[in-house]
Amino acid sequence: MKTFIFTNSLLICMLLGCLWGTAQTRKLHLGSCVANIHTHELRHHFQHIRQEMVSADDQKTIRLLRKDVMNNLQVTERCCFLKQLLHFYMDKVFINYTSGHSLHRRTTSVLANSFLGISKDLRECHANAHCECTEETRSKLHSIQNLYDKLDHKAAAVKAIGELDSLFEWLESLQHH
């Protein structure tokens, strides 16, 4: 009887361990580059501020992160595009975002730290020549940055953070392929 209970307990633990590992580890293939991206965690944190970011966006006619641009990226462009986009968010967006709400500051800090971790994986890919940047990819990012720079910095930061849903949707679509 004790052997039966021990065996069943061991099997349950192994099953839960496998399920936990599957839920926690998300390998995203960006051409030749593989990065660990936990979009469910990013979305979880983002949901705390999403509604306020979207409602505070007073530039509704402008889109920084256009789905058609991200969806039409060549497989070989994805790594570079994501690497540069994350740097854009860390270097411009999160730095320019200010809020009187401590929850918003904490959430954007968590997102920035997550982006930093993803960037580390992408930097390794780039160093190993698995993440090549073409002029076309740079041009797409340059267009996003130009639109951002035309807006007031605070309004632009709110807009860019509010559009993170588009980035997360794109990343999730890549995980399912």
- pLDDT(6) > 60: no
Domain spanning 27-175: CATH 1.20.1250.10: yes
Kindly write down the DSSP assignment for every residue of 76-118, as one continuous string: HHHHHHHHHHHHHIIIIIHHH---S-HHHHHHHHHHHHHHHHH
Would you state the pLDDT for residue 131? 79
pTM score over 0.75: yes
Residue 127 or residue 65, greater confidence: 65
At residue 3, the pLDDT reads 53
φ/ψ (deg, to 5) at 169 = -60, -45
57-69: pLDDT as tens digits = 988 899 999 999 9
Stretch 97-110: mean pLDDT: 90
Confidence of residue 11 (pLDDT cuts 50, 70, 90): very low
What pLDDT does residue 177 have?
60
Query: In terms of Cα–Cα distance, which of 20, 131, 45 is closest to 81?
Result: 131
Which among 65, 88, 93 has a CA at the least distance from the CA of 171?
65
Q: What rounded mean pLDDT belongs to the chain? A: 83
Q: Which residue has the higher pLDDT, 43 or 22?
A: 43
**Mean predicted confidence (pLDDT) in 70-77:** 90
Mean pLDDT of 144-153: 95
Contact by Cβ (8 Å): 29, 174: yes
In the structure, what pLDDT confidence band is assigned to residue 1 with cuts at 50, 70 and 90? low
Rounded to whole angstroms, how far apart are CA atoms 77 and 135? 10
pLDDT surpassing 60 at residue 12: no
CA distances from 124 to 33, 34, 100 (A): 9, 10, 36
Q: Is the pLDDT higher at 164 or at 127? A: 164
13 pLDDT more than 70 = no
Q: What is the mean pLDDT of residues 37-48?
A: 92
